[in-house]
Amino acid sequence: MISTNRETAPQPVAPLGAAWVAEALRLAGFQVRFLDLCFERNPIVAVEAALTEFAPDGIALSVRNLDNCNLLTPKSYLPEVRELVRVMKARSEARVLIGGAGVSILPHPVLKYLELDYAVVGEGERAAVEFFSARDADAVARVPGVVCRRGAPQERCVPAQGCRDDFVMPRLHGWVDARMYLAREPVLPVQGKRGCAQRCLYCTYRQIEGESWRVRDPRAVVDEIVEAMRQTPTREFEFVDSIFNEPEGYLELLLEEVLRRGVKARFCASSLSPKGLTEAQLRLMERAGMRSLVITPESAAGATLAALQKGFDEDDVNRAAELLGRSRLRVLWCFLIGGPQEDEETLGQTVAFLNRHVGKKDGAFITTGIRIYPGTGLHRLALGEGAVQVDDDLLMPSFYFSPKLTPERARALLDRGVRHGRCIHLTDTQAPVLGALRRIGTAIGLPTPFWRYAGYAKGALGGWRRQGGVPARRQ
């Protein structure tokens, strides 16, 4: 199993999905070696050494992201993966299966670009076991969730749902060197459910994980947390579910199990919806050890929210902000600037929200433009507006930005309008100085989440921009 992700901005992400597949293969009787390339200085040398030492019969490649989703400084990760594939082919005749979130979105273009034959769409636990157990090419091609390069490029790829509700414990700490990730930020990921029943215009979760919620037994999730606390020094965990407070009743069952078991850990959640959030839920989060949340309204303007098909309106966003403002929880608000119907008026509503509701304990993360993926409503909209062409397979990054505004004008309005320094832009996260600050913060034991120190990092970021990172300001 090779985890190819090497991106460390805004922080390195432990390969939970790849570990899950590796554990499923181990439980099925395979001898598995896991190679995590995130911190390898020379990934080519690392792959060559692993192939020589282990001599595998099968190779599973995990691709987390196709690119950095950054309109202002786009970067594709696929050229580096292609070099790895060429080394693998030169050194091994093993059967190869590629998967991961990035592959699930564009399986046929990825296979063509990398000159590979098989990809898994959706989760890979059961598909990988069946794929590497298959006797011949015909049997391989019939594995549910596996697509072939010779298959019809336009056929709808249904995500594999190999685990249904019988999830295995991924044992992340058994597959990767957790200390390397904990040195950058002392938090490990936990996933309590998969799938998404929402229909946001731009999102690919439904393509990757399926169109309905599939929850793990809360007891198994807490077992995983307790086991990680025994095996690693971490005492903080991030729930990385697509939406932490859906489906209704899920977070209550999970956090009540945490309390029942007396788990002494700190928690954060990477994606909360403003819709239906209650004061009782926030009190329960606080009692269970939740310290911070990432909430993803994407806009504070009703017109843009409706165009993005978020399923909630600006009243929901403001109501959630008032509740969160009265809580002890730190909140990172995420906004996508330049969505459909975005203009100076709607952006002004978001600026007003940032000034009114992002308090001293909170922060905001700003992404400019939205990555366009096939099969989404945003793709259909972009085709209609002429932002992309029908023959563009979107393997290399293309972005949507409202024709009623420009990225430069949007940034200028944000810079002039927001009256505090608690906003950080996606492009800023590429500054090497932030990685150094993270390591220092971990070493001296600064309280997490580290985004809380965004205001203090402004000076360092300004120096990075002046030295050529990105322009200090776009007019």
pLDDT in the model for residue 471: 45
Provide the pLDDT confidence category of residue 457 given band limits of 50, 70 and 90.
low
Give domain 2-148's CATH number out of 1.10.8.60, 3.30.300.30, 3.30.499.10, 3.40.50.280: 3.40.50.280
Residue 196 DSSP symbol:
-
Average pLDDT, the chain: 91
Least confident among 71-85, 96-110, 421-435: 421-435
Residue with tokens 């786009």: 74
Q: 186-466 — its CATH code? A: 3.80.30.20
Domain residue spans of the chain: 2-148, 186-466
Provide the pLDDT confidence category of residue 203 given band limits of 50, 70 and 90.
very high
Closest CA to 367 of 341, 337, 400, 407: 337
Cβ-Cβ contacts under 8 Å for 190 (sequence gap 6 or more):
221, 224, 225, 228, 237, 238, 239, 240
Q: Which helix (H) or strand (E) holds 203?
A: none
Residue 158: count of CB within 10 angstroms of its CB: 14
Q: Is the pLDDT of residue 211 over 70?
A: yes
| DSSP state letters, 433-453 | HHHHHHHHHHHTTPPSPGGGG
What whole-number distance in Å separates Cα of residue 204 and Cα of residue 104? 9
Provide the pLDDT confidence category of residue 418 given band limits of 50, 70 and 90.
very high
pLDDT in the model for residue 162: 46
Closest CA to 61 of 128, 145, 2: 2
The token pair at 119 is: 């990809």
* pLDDT 10s digits, 8-50: 988 899 999 999 999 999 999 999 999 999 999 999 999 999 9
Least confident among 119-128, 146-155, 182-191, 305-314: 146-155
What whole-number distance in Å separates Cα of residue 475 and Cα of residue 471? 10
